């Protein structure tokens, strides 16, 4: 059975998405069920991206749509309500202020059911360590677009090691200039080539 809300998100129909969310809430539909429909739609967007039908611009638009729908749903959840798969800490490392790739990863992870702690950009190693300690997250995503970010990633992994947390956390890295060799250099567990890959990795690890 097709889901009109999921299809509307997949087709990037902003007006229809927001209308359907509001209609379902007014009809008394469980907000968790509405959220799952939105996530299904984001999954469809991810598949269209993998097939080459959608590009980064469409991923960004879909992420914005999902966030708008989530904002409508949020007041209808009890405090602490809404089922999540687990926690993921994400940020662009110290020395790099690029955020488009990071924001895409954050949006796709949230759409896939993860509680994402977004630390922003130019994040020092110690701040990542503090976030892992306080949240208990088992996955850390480090973003960086420029080559100077490589050392920021390496420093962050080293800081996790020094804090005795490295064995408890899976680290993924991503960014336009990253390669498998860079992943080895920084000591990460995996390289996520795009936002969809980040979701696949999180699903494997959590």
Give the pLDDT score at 78.
Answer: 56
CA gap 119, 126 in Å, rounded:
12
Give the pLDDT score at 56.
Answer: 82
Rounded mean pLDDT of 74-100?
Answer: 81
- Retrieve residue 146's tokens: 């420029």
Please report how many Cα atoms fall inside a 13 Å half-sphere around the Cα of residue 119, on the Cβ side: 25
Query: Among 11-25, 96-110, 152-166, where is mean pLDDT lowest?
Result: 96-110
* pLDDT tens per residue, range 189-200: 999 988 888 989
* pLDDT tens per residue, range 114-169: 999 999 999 999 999 999 999 999 999 999 988 889 999 999 999 999 999 999 99
Rounded mean pLDDT of 59-82?
Answer: 78
Options 3.90.1150.10, 3.40.50.280, 3.10.110.10, 3.40.50.2000; which CATH number does 87-205 get?
Answer: 3.40.50.280
Q: Where are the CATH 3.40.50.280 domain residues in the chain?
A: 87-205
- Contacts of 122 by beta carbon, 8 Å cutoff, 6+ apart: 92, 93, 94, 95, 96, 97
| HEC per residue, the chain | CCCHHHHHHHCCCHHHHHHHHHHHHHCCCCHHHHHHHHHHHHHHHHHHHHCCCCCHHHHHHHHHHHHHHHHHHHHHCCCCCCCCCCEEEEEEECCCCCCHHHHHHHHHHHHCCCEEEECCCCECHHHHHHHHHHHCCCEEEEECCCCCHHHHHHHHHHHHHHCCCHHHCEEEEECCCCCHHHHHHHCCCEECCCHHHHHHHHHHHC
Q: Is the pLDDT of residue 201 over 70?
A: yes
Confidence band (pLDDT; 50, 70, 90) for 1?
very low
Give the pLDDT score at 189.
Answer: 98
4-76 maps to CATH 1.10.1240.10: yes
Give the pLDDT score at 83.
Answer: 63
Give the pLDDT score at 39.
Answer: 85
Query: Among 24-28, 106-110, 148-152, where is mean pLDDT lowest?
Result: 106-110
* pLDDT tens per residue, range 33-59: 898 899 899 889 988 988 999 988 898
Q: Where are the CATH 1.10.1240.10 domain residues in the chain?
A: 4-76
CA gap 104, 112 in Å, rounded:
12
Give the pLDDT score at 70.
Answer: 85
- Single out the residue of 119, 177, 118 nearest to residue 145, CA to CA: 177
Give the pLDDT score at 82.
Answer: 56
């Amino acid at each position: 059975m097709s889901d009109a809300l999921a299809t509307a998100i997949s087709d990037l129909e902003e007006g229809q998405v927001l209308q359907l969310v509001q209609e379902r809430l007014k009809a008394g539909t469980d907000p968790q069920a509405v959220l799952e429909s939105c996530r299904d739609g984001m999954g469809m967007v991810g598949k269209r991206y993998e097939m080459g039908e959608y590009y980064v611009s469409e991923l960004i638009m879909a992420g914005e749509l999902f966030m708008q729908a989530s904002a409508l749903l949020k007041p209808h959840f009890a405090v602490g309500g809404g089922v999540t798969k687990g926690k993921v800490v994400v940020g662009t490392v110290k020395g790099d202020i690029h955020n488009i790739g990071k924001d895409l990863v954050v949006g796709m992870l949230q759409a896939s059911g993860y509680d994402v702690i977004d630390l922003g950009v130019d994040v020092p190693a110690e701040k990542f360590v503090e976030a892992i300690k306080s949240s208990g997250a088992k996955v850390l995503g480090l973003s960086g677009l420029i080559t100077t970010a490589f050392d920021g990633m390496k420093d962050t992994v080293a800081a996790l090691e020094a804090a005795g947390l490295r064995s408890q956390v899976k680290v993924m890295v991503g960014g336009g200039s990253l390669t498998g060799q860079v992943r080895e250099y920084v000591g990460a567990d995996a390289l996520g080539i795009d936002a969809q890959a980040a979701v696949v990795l999180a699903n494997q690890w959590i």
